[in-house]
Amino acid sequence: MQDIHTILKQYWGYDSFRHPQEQVILDVLSGKDTLALLPTGGGKSICFQVPALALDGLCIVVSPLIALMKDQVANLVKRNIPAAAIYSGMTKREVDITLDACVTGKYRFLYVSPERLITSLFRERFKRMPVKLIAVDEAHCISQWGYDFRPPYLQIAELRTIFPEVPMLALTASATPQVCDDIMQKLQFKTPHCIRGSFVRANLGFIVRDEENKEAKLLDILRTIKGTAVIYVRNRRRTKEVAQFLMRNHIQASFYHAGLEPEMRSHRQEQWINNQTRVMVCTNAFGMGIDKPDVRVVIHLDLPEGPEAYYQEAGRAGRDGHKAFAGLLFDDADIRMLEDNVSKQYPEVSFIRSIYHHIGNYCQVAIGAGRDETFDFDIAVLCKNFQLPVVETRNALRILEQHGFIYISDAFYHPSTITIPVDRETLYRYQIENKSVEPVIKMLLRTATGVFDEHVPVRESQLAYHASIAEDKLIEVLQFLHEQQIIIYTPVKKKPQITFLQPRVAAEHIQLDLDLLKQLRENAQKRMEAMIAYVHNHGVCRAQQLLQYFGEHIEPCGVCDVCVEKKRMGITDSEFNRIFDWMRTTLTEQSLAPEELLNRTLPARRERVLEVLHFMTDSRQIIHNENNLLHWNA
């Protein structure tokens, strides 16, 4: 076994590990099943990549995010570490070649989407692979108590029956204690074992503002806090609107969402990473897997659905350890919108079944057909063709995913690939008998290195140049050779994809787990309530409140808006909380004039009570009613 510090230095250039990476790695190497709970930016990938290289064999990495899988594979290959990925949208032959290469020991890492684990093709080949470690990224997806439950994750534990002695490493950046217990149970850990990295971000100041004019406040923040920024909004349309607003006000900005062309997304991301763009306005499609250390501020203009998503996105600020801020701007309309969105998350069963029927017709899949087939998919076109409400349709599709009927990927760039499945002798005979296509075949052999062993990414424009023919003519030849089964040619994919994980059935025969749906609905409601409680809180340190949600108890951070205001007032936490509780009880029972409220306290405390009262009215937890009396704003 290689020394882990030597591996870290050789491939990543680091002299030491972050806490608690080394402990996670040592436990994995000792054969322990381990759950690593590390915050965003905590270096989760190092925790499985280093031990996998220390062991002589293959690491299976389960991940639900195609874009993140592709990025990690590309980063490993740059470091001369053999890695590959299998995900929905690849042809059966492409998958076949990749799995064969894993069996023969060509790769050290194989990234697999959870949907692929349940296929018989993968299971049969998996038995013959030299597997030494199984890593489960985004492990909270296995728990119905988590915020992104995916039933295919429940199939992961079945791999243990094939390699019972291989250790399993589960990783997540957002899990409550209940979710952590569920992860270890569902993955059948031999002994429960969880290593928690602290979620404390001492350099990160959390700020919440109830603002009627959020755009004006956004400008004020960006003019005050210099440096790179990320602005999160709920929908794609708003990304463009806010970016244009910032540009009109002389703040360099761009926007990003999953509906943009892959090349455009990649270009804008690179510009932002290289500081050519200061502000990125985006949906939650942006940021996953991007390790930009010098983000000075992350601002949410819309309320996230729960603390898990919020803490993960806010945590992208200040990874370099220098002072940074996480701001959240909201108003009463945002609260109502969040409540409305949560109420629409779980449509009626009849509607879900109708959506399943419509996507079958959209993809032209016959009853009994479609298993493991992938199609281009545009939800906007689906809704337009069948006159469907967009929000409810998107939620119905998510439920069909959760029940394992379909899998939908956002748009991603998957280049054209070519493989030659026949042996060299057969190919030579074919060339002799088909002189018209011989120049193209010879050109492929010269330019597409490894074309007999794997699916090689190609660009048709470059191939056409080397073959000295027009690009459209080259594509015709490639398609002809594909039909002749001389090559396997998979054209470029840029659109979202939908994969049928089971043969299509009649919509009325769709079986949905009503108890599960009820539980998921209740979980979503609790996350929403926790998020609303966070923005309405003005008495407890914000970092304390967030970390307590994840089961970690800390002292007040001293840098959030609540802590800063208490410092300004010169009041201790315990005294503030006593006055806060007294005011809440008093003004919930009845409305009072300010002087009446102050007369109910001791003269010695009057000045402190007045300070807290000003704070509570500024934060609108106490409001004036139509009679100008103080009233608790529940």
Lowest mean pLDDT among 342-351, 441-450, 552-561, 620-629: 620-629
* Cα–Cα distance for residue pair 302/333, rounded to 1 Å: 10
Indicate if the pLDDT at residue 411 is higher than 60.
Answer: no
Between 291 and 295, the more confident residue is 295
DSSP label at 33?
-
Give the confidence band of 232 by pLDDT, cuts at 50, 70, 90.
very high
pLDDT at 490: 84
The CA-based diameter of the chain, rounded to the nearest angstrom, is 105
- Per-residue confidence at 105, pLDDT binned at 50, 70, 90? very high
Length of the chain: 634
For 110, the token pair is 């194989």
Whether 546 shows a pLDDT value over 60: the answer reads yes
Mean pLDDT of the chain: 89
Q: Establish whether domains 4-196 and 204-330 are of one fold.
A: yes
Q: Amino acid identity, residue 390? A: V
Q: Which of residues 185 and 489 earns the better pLDDT score?
A: 185
- Tell me the CB-side half-sphere exposure of residue 33, using CA atoms within 13 A: 19
Query: What sign does the dihedral 431-434-435-439 (CA atoms) show?
Result: negative
Quick one: how many helices (H) and strands (E) in the chain? 26, 21
Reported as a pLDDT band with limits 50, 70 and 90, residue 281 is: very high
Q: Does domain 204-330 have CATH number 3.40.50.300?
A: yes
- Cβ atoms 538, 615 nearer than 8 A: yes
Tokens 């923040």 belong to residue: 221
Name the helix (H) or strand (E) containing 209: strand 204-210
State yes or no: pLDDT of 12 exceeds 80.
Answer: yes
Hey, is 176 helix, strand or coil?
coil
CATH number belonging to domain 416-490: 1.10.10
Say what the pLDDT of residue 537 is: 86
Domain limits of the chain? Answer: 4-196, 204-330, 341-395+497-521, 416-490, 554-632
- Residue 335 reports pLDDT greater than 90: yes
User: Which pLDDT band, with edges at 50, 70 and 90, does 410 fall under?
Assistant: low
Residue 485, Cβ density class (10 Å: 0-12 exposed, 13-18 middle, ≥19 buried):
exposed
3-class secondary-structure state, position 419: strand
- The per-residue pLDDT for 248 is 96
pLDDT at 262 exceeding the cut of 80: no
Residue 289 confidence (pLDDT): 64
- The residue written with tokens 């936490």 in the block is 573
Higher pLDDT, 620 or 333: 333
487, with CB counted inside 10 A (0-12, 13-18, 19+), is buried
Rounded distance between C-alpha atoms, residue 632 and residue 617, angstroms: 9
Model pTM score: 0.77
> If phi over 0 gives left and psi between -120 and 50 gives alpha, with beta otherwise, what is residue 349?
alpha
Q: What is the CATH number of domain 4-196?
A: 3.40.50.300
Categorize the per-residue pLDDT at 604 as very low, low, confident or very high, splitting at 50, 70 and 90: low
Position 484 pLDDT exceeds 60? yes
- Residue-level pLDDT at 93: 79
The pLDDT confidence band at residue 413, using thresholds 50, 70 and 90, is: low
The two tokens of residue 575 are: 């005294």
Query: How many C-beta atoms surround the C-beta of residue 399 within 10 A?
Result: 22
pLDDT in tens, 112-166: 988 788 778 888 899 999 999 999 999 999 998 878 888 888 889 988 899 999 9
Model confidence at 386: pLDDT above 80: yes
Element housing 3 (H / E): none
Q: In the chain, pLDDT over 90 holds for what percent of residues?
A: 51
Among residues 143, 151, 68, 173, which one has the least CA distance to residue 112?
68
**pLDDT single digits (tens) 369-381:** 998 888 888 888 9
| Phi, psi dihedrals of residue 41, rounded to the nearest 5° | 85, 10
Q: 3-state class of 553 per DSSP?
A: coil
pLDDT at 1: 62
DSSP 599: H
| Per-residue confidence band for 313, with pLDDT thresholds at 50, 70 and 90 | very high
